[in-house]
Amino acid sequence: MTTLKKGDKAPNFSALDQDGKPHQLTDYAGKKLVVFFYPKASTPGCTAEACDLRDNFERFQANNYELLGVSADSAKAQSKFKDKYEFPFPLLADEDKAVIQAFGVWGPKKFMGKEYDGIHRTTFIIDENGIIDEVIEKVKTKEHAAQILK
């Protein structure tokens, strides 16, 4: 789905989080950034994935990582999701899909025999210089932190 790969410069995105605070790639210069795209807030797989990242957040911080979750949900939906599960990282409300499109994770999907367009669960690990270090397309929702923190 995505055309971005290891060694590519990460898209210089800009979007608002669940509280209306802006985030852009340049805010994270000098840190490693995990940008994880998920289909929909508060659904079982997305909840398992985000909770696994939350439960390992101290390990991410110890390794100089920042985390950003992204979906096309509204700021209100993202805020409820973040508050309910006490996520220590921001969730971008990318309703116009600008960040989702920039990273190339929007496209045709299949679920229970039906085809539709949606977000492909994909994670990008971006280094301190804004270069993509890894693209994880086969996300294991319950073990995602282990996939990132090898």
Provide the annotated active-site residues.
Answer: 46
The amino acid at 101 = Q
Contact 17, 92 (CB under 8 A): yes
Give the C-alpha separation, 70 to 96, whole Å: 12
Q: How far does CA 94 lie from the centroid of its chain?
A: 11
Both tokens of 91, joined, read 């969730």
Backbone Cα Rg of the chain: 14
